[in-house]
């Protein structure tokens, strides 16, 4: 995709990597632009059934490159909604959630500040036990503003989030899993994420996308709305060729052959 983000697609899985390893994948204007372009591209693809998001080198993402942002300016208009409901900084975290296919984040090294907010946009987060995380913004005298508040409300308790935000303290992956900010620990988060992505990619892609839409609306709707959404999504997939193929493949104990 660019010098800041690489994308490799194989077997319906997009391997997306933050590619600024000399700076622990810290976020500068070029990284923001590359992430947004990557998300835009993935939104338009029907051949990708799952995304794995990771970082090259020693870390997932160390957060904002404060020196680069200060010297060159961020180029981000915080006030204007330039990307639907979001500004650019929010878009590169929030819109992993808005991609039609599931996203799995593989974390190692550090996921600090904006890095944690980007990871939080994924559907699933696998972290090496030695990973260090932080809601880091108060360390710099600012507030989390890359979609974290909207994303974390479905992941962790309000009082836990407040304590982590107000103190800006670092915590390890085991703590993060206890809080709900990490799905589970893995000694090989990228390898396990790729295996999980291939498993997901082997299932009815239209049903997977429908299931993601259901979970995306669940946090913002009442019971009646959730029940209606379930029925609507089921009607889109039941008795379709892909759903029938899934049943036949299961009965014949073979890999399913889907149409994207």
**Per CATH, is 204-252 categorized as 1.10.12.10?**
yes
How many Å is the Cα radius of gyration of the chain? 19
Q: Which residues pair with 64 in a beta bridge?
A: 27
List the domain boundaries for the chain: 5-200, 204-252
Phi, psi of 180 (to 5 degrees): 100, 0
- Distances 54 to 60, 90, 110, 134, 254 between C-alpha atoms, Å: 6, 18, 11, 17, 31
d(CA 233, CA 6): 33
Name the pTM for this structure. Answer: 0.96
In the chain, the largest separation of any two C-alpha atoms, in whole Å, equals 61
The strand order across the sheet containing 50-55 reads: 5-10, 13-18, 50-55, 103-107, 124-127, 184-185
Positive or negative, the CA dihedral 122, 214, 181, 130 is negative
Cβ neighbours of residue 249 closer than 8 Å, sequence gap 6 or more: 255, 256, 257
d(CA 93, CA 90): 6
Phi, psi of 105 (to 5 degrees): -95, 135
Cβ neighbours of residue 181 closer than 8 Å, sequence gap 6 or more: 116, 120, 125, 133, 152, 155, 156
Tens of pLDDT along the chain (260 residues) come to 478 999 999 999 999 999 999 999 999 999 999 999 999 999 999 999 999 999 999 999 999 998 877 765 667 899 999 999 999 999 999 999 999 999 999 999 999 999 999 999 999 999 999 999 999 999 999 999 999 999 999 999 999 999 999 999 999 999 999 999 999 999 999 999 999 999 999 999 999 999 999 999 998 999 999 999 999 999 999 999 999 999 999 999 999 999 99
* Residue-level pLDDT at 197: 98
d(CA 94, CA 103): 12
Q: State which fold the 5-200 domain adopts.
A: 2-enoyl-CoA Hydratase; Chain A, domain 1 (3.90.226)
């Amino acid at each position: 995709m660019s010098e800041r983000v690489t994308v490799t697609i194989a077997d319906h899985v997009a391997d997306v990597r933050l590619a600024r390893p000399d700076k622990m994948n810290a976020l500068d204007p070029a990284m923001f632009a590359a992430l947004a372009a990557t998300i835009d591209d993935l939104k338009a693809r029907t051949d990708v059934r799952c995304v794995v998001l990771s970082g090259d080198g020693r870390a997932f993402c160390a957060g904002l490159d404060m020196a680069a942002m200060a010297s060159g300016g961020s180029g981000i208009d915080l006030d204007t909604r330039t990307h639907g409901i979001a500004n650019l900084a929010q878009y590169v975290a929030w819109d992993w959630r808005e991609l039609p296919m599931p996203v799995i984040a593989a974390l190692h090294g550090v996921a600090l500040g904006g890095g944690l907010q980007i990871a939080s946009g994924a559907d699933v987060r696998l972290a090496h036990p030695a990973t260090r995380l932080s809601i880091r913004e108060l360390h710099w005298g600012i507030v989390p503003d890359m979609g974290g508040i909207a994303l974390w409300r479905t992941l962790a308790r309000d009082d836990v989030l407040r304590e982590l935000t107000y103190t800006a303290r670092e915590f390890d992956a085991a703590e993060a899993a206890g809080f709900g900010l990490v799905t589970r620990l893995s000694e090989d988060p990228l390898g396990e994420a790729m295996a999980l992505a291939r498993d997901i990619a082997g299932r009815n892609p239209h049903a997977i996308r429908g299931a993601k839409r259901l979970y995306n609306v669940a946090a913002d709707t009442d019971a009646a709305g959730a029940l209606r959404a379930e029925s609507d999504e089921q009607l889109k997939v039941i008795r379709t060729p892909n759903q029938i193929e899934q049943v036949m493949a299961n009965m014949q104990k073979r890999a399913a052959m889907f149409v994207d």
